Amino acid sequence: MGEVLSQNEIDSLLQALSSGDLDVDDIREPEKREAKNYDFARPAKFSKDHLRTLEIIFEHYGRLLSTNLPVYLRKTVQVEVINSEAVTFSEFTNALSNPVLLGIVHLEPLKGNFIMELAPKLGYAMVDRMLGGAGQPLEKNRDFSEIELLIIERIFAICVNLLIEPWANVVKIHPKLERIETNPQFAQIISPSEMIAIITMNIRVGDVEGLINICLPYISLEDVMDKLNTKYWYANMQAMDERSFQDAIESMIEKAPMPVKAVLGQSIISVSDFVNIQIGDIIRLDRKVEDELEIFVGNIKKFTALPGTSGENYAVRVTSVIREEQ
């Protein structure tokens, strides 16, 4: 039971409150904070903002897959990001089936390797499409043949090369497909207790649907974790969009065709002379042989030059640059 105040103490307390010498907040009991459970086996290395930024990156990647894969598979491809989570590497590998399709990918200059897991039924369907079939999966999974793995390796290589653009706002990468594994035991790229981020994407090729899981180890992303936030990503994306727009305009202007003509000279003749011109007739111009020619870019006189040859073609050698705009 709390201590009972005397009347004098109560009067002193009320006087201090009324005069402002004492604040009510100063005498309130501090709020009790509830302790949260922390799993030391799964340290929180990926924040929600990190995972959301990775989702944005792979949403961009999904759009590139939807655009590029139909060229090779001759089927419409729909891709969407459905989930992102942080788990240990052992949880990821324990959930893998056998056989499985795992692409071991190195994204230079990031450390270590990443894993791209493709659902086996998608792999069978893609191989069938590449070989001219209807793109139907097998009713029962089996091991992939050497020829099938070569075709799947080509598909993985196409997918891996498309990673460059989505990651450009974070880091300039040079992706390389190291190898294809069908047994999870040979894909131990990090310690089982290490934390990873998994981005799960649903891909639909024609009538066949399956998942692609992207395994991103924390130790590989550690150097760019400060850039994996939505504020940095959007700010950098806006700056890149402005530069890309300017570069695109400059590129279009540089490739625009410009008509250039060299004028040997001019002459004024009568209509009767013009009507009676025959092959072999000579028309006297207003320039001498040693005079410089006028070079026009469009309708603007920009240069003077001397006539000559280059190989088997007629040519001119620029002697001066002039600025006459009319």
Radius of gyration for the alpha carbons in the chain, expressed in angstroms and rounded: 37
State the pLDDT at residue 215. Answer: 92
Decide the pairing of beta strands 293-297 and 195-205. Answer: unpaired
Residue 150 sits in the same domain as residue 100 = yes
Q: Which domain holds residue 310?
A: 260-321
Residue 148 sits in the same domain as residue 184 = yes
Q: Is residue 15 part of a domain?
A: no
State the pLDDT at residue 248. Answer: 64
Residue 192 sits in the same domain as residue 124 = yes
Question: What does the pLDDT profile of the chain (326 residues) look like in tens digits?
Answer: 456 667 777 777 777 766 666 555 555 555 666 666 655 555 567 888 888 888 888 998 999 999 898 888 888 889 999 988 888 888 888 888 878 889 999 988 888 899 999 988 888 888 888 888 877 777 777 888 888 899 999 999 999 999 988 888 888 889 899 989 888 888 888 888 888 899 999 999 888 888 999 999 988 888 888 887 777 666 666 655 555 656 666 776 777 788 888 888 888 888 888 888 888 888 888 888 888 888 888 888 888 898 888 888 888 889 888 875 54
Residue 238 sits in the same domain as residue 125 = yes
Asked if residue 162 lies in contact with residue 69, where contact means CB atoms within 8 angstroms, the answer is no
State the pLDDT at residue 326. Answer: 46
Q: Is residue 55 part of a domain?
A: yes
How does 153-185 read in b/e, with b if 16+ C-beta sit within 10 Å? eebbeebbebbeebbbbbeebebebeebbbebe
Asked if residue 169 lies in contact with residue 240, where contact means CB atoms within 8 angstroms, the answer is yes
- Count how many residues are written for the chain: 326
Residue 169 sits in the same domain as residue 295 = no
Decide the pairing of beta strands 114-118 and 101-108. Answer: antiparallel
Q: What is the DSSP string of 312-325?
A: TEEEEEEEEE----
Residue 295 sits in the same domain as residue 153 = no
Instruction: Give how far the C-alpha of residue 22 lies from the chain's centroid of Cα atoms, to the nearest Å.
Output: 60
In 68-225, DSSP assigns E strands to 77-88, 101-108, 114-118, 174-181, 195-205, 208-217
Q: What letter represents residue 134's amino acid? A: A
Alpha-carbon distance of 196 to 86, in angstroms, equals 6
State the pLDDT at residue 232. Answer: 66
Q: Is residue 150 part of a domain?
A: yes
State the pLDDT at residue 15. Answer: 73
Asked if residue 317 lies in contact with residue 306, where contact means CB atoms within 8 angstroms, the answer is yes
Residue 275 sits in the same domain as residue 194 = no
Q: Which residue from 153, 149, 150, 58 is spatially nearest to 105, judged by alpha carbons?
A: 153
Q: What is the CATH number of the domain that holds 279?
A: 2.30.330.10
Asked if residue 293 lies in contact with residue 305, where contact means CB atoms within 8 angstroms, the answer is yes
Which residues neighbour 26 within 8 Å (Cβ) at sequence distance 6 or greater? none
State the pLDDT at residue 254. Answer: 73
- The edge-to-edge listing of strands for the beta sheet with 208-217 is 77-88, 195-205, 208-217, 114-118, 101-108, 174-181
What separation in angstroms does the CA of 27 have from each of 9, 24, 30, 291? 14, 6, 9, 103
Alpha-carbon distance of 94 to 142, in angstroms, equals 20
Residue 115 sits in the same domain as residue 264 = no
Residue 151 sits in the same domain as residue 268 = no
Residue 233 sits in the same domain as residue 151 = yes
Alpha-carbon distance of 229 to 2, in angstroms, equals 50
The one-character DSSP state at 11 is H
Alpha-carbon distance of 207 to 73, in angstroms, equals 13
State the pLDDT at residue 198. Answer: 92
